[in-house]
């Protein structure tokens, strides 16, 4: 169905207003950036614990990176080619006291003081699994690796859609190994992910999807990604019933990260990888949309599942 | 005691090597940025829950901001004057496809492609409480407000001291109200903070402290801050016994944030504020230093306190 821009905008704004009126989100003055209430956080963390509990049998290694990425590692990926508009590059002031006076003068004069800053060694993390691969350079142990990750990620796409935040939390499980192991991981999580979401009362649908590649060249890549069925998303109506929102994805990367970071399997092949990721804020918003804004009135089985 | 730079550097490097050898920290190639193991995270979250449990009687509002701050709000503070070297300004690519080709060409030619980026509406959060104040503009309810916050914060100070991370988590409690209320909050937390740290087996010392203001002018501000006893820190030996590390601080801001963001008490005065903040990674490192690298061998009362 093709929705007009106006209809969608009204739906997003309406849902956002409901969320801020209810005190679940606190506006920051920047689209896509909010404070979250204690109730919002309790639901988010409750769902996160449900992921952990229901995937405990996978015995994944747990690693947590802060939401920043070594700039050199960023540049070993093709993110700057494929998603330049989403990037977050961290800049800081590295000058002396005289330079500082110049910076303050520019600011006082209403000039662009930010051009006086220098890029740091860091980028914001575009997806939770990015910082893992550079630490896996070399040869994997027999059987490969399964890693459980969670972090904030940044995507520069200011929007009034409450589901499209600029800084949000993603819980991922990554598999590094043979093509078969990577695909099995993705298949497993397409089932398990649905099970976890269903247990929270979210009736998601699984669809083939593509990433938002930049520009005209990007459209070709999107088509290719879809044709190869590399990406699946679990979608559910959140702000509007007509355009469902992806709240989880299951991705097969082929040997993309294995090549970029020199990761090999125990038998010397370039490693393949797959990841699944829950968008924790999106899942939380889907829970509020589906069950209402008062968790104490949610179905008993959902409250039990989320420890509420 | 005055330690030579070499002695300190050796102590930091030694402790860092121990932590990475033990797998608690995973190097990223950038000083002050690490992945954390599941064991590290379990200890950190266990301590965080101890803060929540032991301060539950304060009935603070819970709000969680992501680690980003509206750039306009950032510029209403004096951070750019006082700590320019620590700032994190987020830049992104906002051009069209032709601009993108230019960006990629610069990168291919080894030129500085980052000057083609534009500042976004966002800065990284320098301290967990900064995003709160702009949302409190206006008149406080009778009795003021007490808010419990936690977020990642960014400080651009690359260092091999494992305690000096560039991106780390801070758990804060902020009081907005009269001068008496702000000072009472700080006094309460100087006691409660010590109690919480002692319960985890950390024998901290409370010292008057100052922030690392930039430049020569900054030295004057640091002296003034100390003379007014605005900042207290709980310190404990971590990387080295000779130079203890601050793992918690208790701060009185006078009417600094009240003025900057137009916050008033119910009786029309400019609000004063105070905050306490635990540096969660630093507390965790202090726990490993104090009790050893194997939480299963820690004293029973500490394990019980941290739910380990």
Mean pLDDT over residues A253-262, rounded?
Answer: 98
Same domain, A114 and A133: no
Write the CATH number for B227.
3.30.930.10
Buried b (16+ CB within 10 A) or exposed e, A235-274: bbbbbbeebbbbbbbbbbbeebbbebbebbbeeeeebbbb
Interchain pair B167, A66: CB under 8 A = yes
- Nearest CB partner across the interface for A63, out of B26, B93, B167: B26
One-character DSSP codes across chain B: ----HHHHHHHHHHHHHHHHHTTSEEE-SSTT-EEEEHHHHHHHHHHHHHHHHHTGGG-PEEEE--SEEEHHHHTTSSHHHH-GGG--EEEE----HHHHHHHHHHHHTT--GGGG-EEEEEEE-SSTTTTHHHHT-EEPPTT-EEEEEEEEEE-----S-TT--SEEEEEEEEEEE-HHHHHHHHHHHHHHHHHHHHHTT---EEEEE-----HHHHHHHHHHHHHTT-EEEEEE-SS-SSS-EEEEEEEE-TTHHHHHTTEE-TTSPBPEEEEEEEEHHHHHHHHHHHH-S-GGGS-HHHHHHTT-
One-character DSSP codes across B91-142: EE----HHHHHHHHHHHHTT--GGGG-EEEEEEE-SSTTTTHHHHT-EEPPT
Same domain, B43 and B105: no
User: At how many degrees (to 10) do helices B280-291 and B5-21 cross?
Assistant: 80
Interface size between A and B, measured as CB pairs under 8 A: 197
ipTM of the complex: 0.97
Best residue in B24, B39, B92, B261 for a mutation probing chain A (most A CBs within 10 Å): B92
Same domain, B103 and B143: no
Residue B3 is predicted with a pLDDT of 66
One-character DSSP codes across A198-237: HHTT---EEEEE-----HHHHHHHHHHHHHTT-EEEEEE-
Interchain pair A29, B134: CB under 8 A = yes
Same domain, A221 and A99: no
Each residue's pLDDT tens digit, A148-183: 999 999 999 999 999 999 999 999 999 999 999 999
Each residue's pLDDT tens digit, A80-113: 999 999 999 999 999 999 999 999 999 999 999 9
Domain containing residue B29 = 5-88+126-306
Last residue of a domain, one of A78, A104, A123: A123
Each residue's pLDDT tens digit, B200-239: 999 999 999 999 999 998 999 999 999 999 999 999 999 9
Could you give the CA distance from residue B114 to residue A230 in angstroms, rounded to a whole number? 31
Interchain pair A28, B158: CB under 8 A = no
Interchain pair A70, B35: CB under 8 A = no
Q: For all residues of chain B together, what is the average pLDDT? A: 97
Same domain, B72 and B216: yes
Last residue of a domain, one of A71, A104, A123: A123
Same domain, B52 and B97: no
Q: Name the pLDDT band for B45 (thresholds 50, 70, 90).
A: very high
Same domain, B98 and B238: no
Chain A residues touching residue B61 (CB < 8 angstroms):
38
Interchain pair A85, B103: CB under 8 A = no
Minimal C-alpha gap between B111 and chain A (Å): 13
Residue B2 is predicted with a pLDDT of 58
Residue A156 is predicted with a pLDDT of 98
With 0.90 as the threshold, say if the pTM is over it: yes
Best residue in B64, B75, B97, B214 for a mutation probing chain A (most A CBs within 10 Å): B64
Same domain, A110 and A16: no
Same domain, B66 and B42: yes
Residue A5 is predicted with a pLDDT of 86
Residues with Cβ within 8 Å of B142's Cβ and at least 6 positions away in sequence, in order, are B266
Same domain, A268 and A119: no
Number of domain units in chain B? 2
Minimal C-alpha gap between A160 and chain B (Å): 15
Same domain, B113 and B247: no
CB A225 within 8 A of CB A273: no
Same domain, A201 and A99: no
């Amino acid at each position: 169905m093709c929705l007009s821009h106006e209809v969608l905008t009204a739906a997003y704004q309406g849902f956002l207003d409901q969320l801020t009126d209810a005190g679940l989100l606190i506006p920051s003055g920047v689209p896509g950036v909010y404070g979250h209430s204690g109730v919002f956080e309790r639901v988010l963390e409750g769902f996160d614990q449900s992921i952990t509990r229901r995937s405990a049998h996978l015995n994944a290694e747990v690693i947590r990176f802060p939401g920043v990425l070594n700039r050199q590692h960023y540049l070993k990926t093709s993110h700057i080619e494929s998603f330049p508009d989403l990037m977050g590059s961290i800049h800081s002031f590295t000058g002396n006291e005289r330079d500082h006076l110049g910076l303050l003068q520019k600011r006082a004069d209403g000039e662009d003081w930010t051009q006086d800053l220098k890029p740091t060694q860091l980028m914001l993390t575009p997806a939770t699994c990015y910082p893992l691969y550079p630490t896996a350079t070399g040869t994997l142990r027999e059987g490969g690796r399964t890693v459980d990750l969670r972090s904030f990620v940044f995507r520069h796409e200011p929007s009034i859609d409450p589901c499209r935040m600029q800084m949000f939390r993603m819980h991922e499980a990554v598999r590094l190994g043979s093509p078969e192991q990577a695909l099995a991981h993705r298949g497993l999580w397409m089932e398990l992910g649905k099970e976890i979401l269903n247990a929270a009362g979210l009736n998601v649908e699984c669809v083939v999807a593509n990433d938002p590649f930049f520009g005209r060249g990007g459209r070709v890549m999107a088509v290719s990604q879809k044709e190869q069925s590399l990406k699946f998303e679990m979608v559910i109506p959140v702000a509007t019933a007509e355009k469902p929102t992806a709240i989880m994805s299951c991705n097969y990367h082929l040997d993309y990260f294995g090549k970029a970071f020199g990761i090999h399997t125990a038998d010397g092949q370039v490693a393949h990888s797959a990841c699944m990721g829950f968008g924790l804020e999106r899942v939380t918003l889907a829970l509020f949309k589906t069950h209402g804004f008062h968790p104490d009135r949610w179905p008993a089985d959902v409250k039990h599942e989320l420890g509420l």
